[in-house]
Structure 1
Amino acid sequence: MNIALQYCHITVNDVDEALAFYRDALGLEVRNDVASSGFRWVTLGSPGRPFPEFVLSEPHAGRSQADGDALQELLTKGVLSMIVFRTDDLDTTFEKVRASGAEVLQEPIDQPWGPRDSAFRDPSGNMVRIQQGPTA
C-alpha cells in the first residue's frame, strides 16, 4: 500500500494577499482557483511536482458561521498549525521572502536536530518555516 499527502489546507484572511506570499515570494504555482458562494479556494503547488498541493481559503469558506468564527479566532491568535517547506538554498529563499515584506520570526540558523531553517509569518499570521537539510 502506498500513501502520500495530496492536499494541505491553509486558512488565510485574504486569499489575494496570501497569493502574494505563497505564489510570488515562495514561488509556488497556481493550479486551480475555484469560487463558490462568495468564497475562493486557490490550489498551489511546487513547480515540477504534482504533490503535495496547498489550498488557500478563508475561515468561513465552506463552513458554518460558528465553525468559521472559531477558526477565525484561532487564526487571529496565530495558533493554527505551522507549515514547513524544504528548499535546496535556504539563504536565497530567505532573502526572497524577506524582500517581499514578510514578517521574519527567525533568520537562518543551524538547528541542533539537523536542518538549517528560518521562520516567517504569512500575511494572515500563520507560521511558515523553511528548512534546508544538513550538508553532510
Structure 2
Amino acid sequence: MAYGIAAVWVPVEDMDRALAFYRDTLGLTVEKQDTDWSEVTQGELRIGLNARETAHTVDGGAVISFTPEDSIDDEYARLKNAGVTMTGEISDHPWGRIAPFKDSEGNDLQLFAPPA
C-alpha cells in the first residue's frame, strides 16, 4: 500500500522557463536543477520537472492544486497580473473554491481553498 507521494512529475520543454515559473511566479523552492530534471518543493509536495519527455497537454490529465497563502481572490489577481494564463474564473463549490490556470509549459494547475 502506498503511504505517501514521493513526487509529482510534469513534462517541460524549456527547463529555464519552467524553473522561473515555479520559483519566481509560484514561490516554490528549487531543490535540484539540471538540464533534463529539476525538482521544486513546497512543504511536503515535491514536483519533478521532467525535460526527458515530450511536453504536451492532454484533456483529463492530472492537475496539481495549490493552496494560496492568502485569499484565493488575492492570489488569483496576483497570478493574473503576473501574466499567468488563467483558464477560468474562481468557481464556488460545496467542497471549496477553485481557480484553474496553466504553468509555463501548458500543464494544468489550480488554486484551491476549502469551504469557509
TM-score by length of 1: 0.73
- The size of the alignment, in residue pairs, is 113
Instruction: Indicate yes or no: 2:110 matched with 1:129.
Output: yes
- Which of 39, 44, 53 is matched with 2:46 structurally? 53
SS across alignment from 1:10: strand
Superposed displacement of residue 23, structure 1: 1.3
Instruction: Indicate yes or no: 2:87 matched with 1:105.
Output: yes
Instruction: Indicate yes or no: 2:96 matched with 1:115.
Output: yes
Deviations 1:67-107, CA, capped at 9 Å, x for gaps: x4xx44xx1xx204222222252122212211221111112
- Which of 38, 41, 45 is matched with 1:42 structurally? 38
Identity percentage over the alignment? 27
Aligned match of 1:92 = 74
Deviations 1:12-53, CA, capped at 9 Å, x for gaps: 1111111222111111111111x3xxx33111111xx2x221
Aligned match of 2:63 = 82
Aligned amino acid, residue 87 of structure 2: L
Aligned amino acid, residue 21 of structure 2: F
Instruction: Indicate yes or no: 2:4 matched with 1:11.
Output: no
RMSD: 2.0
SS across alignment from 1:95: helix
Superposed displacement of residue 117, structure 1: 0.9
Decide whether the 8 Å contact of 1:25 with 1:100 is kept in 2.
yes
Listed as ranges, the gaps of 5+ residues in structure 1 are 62-67
Aligned amino acid, residue 18 of structure 2: A
1:23 and 1:118 map into 2 onto residues whose CA distance is 20
Structure with higher helix content: 1
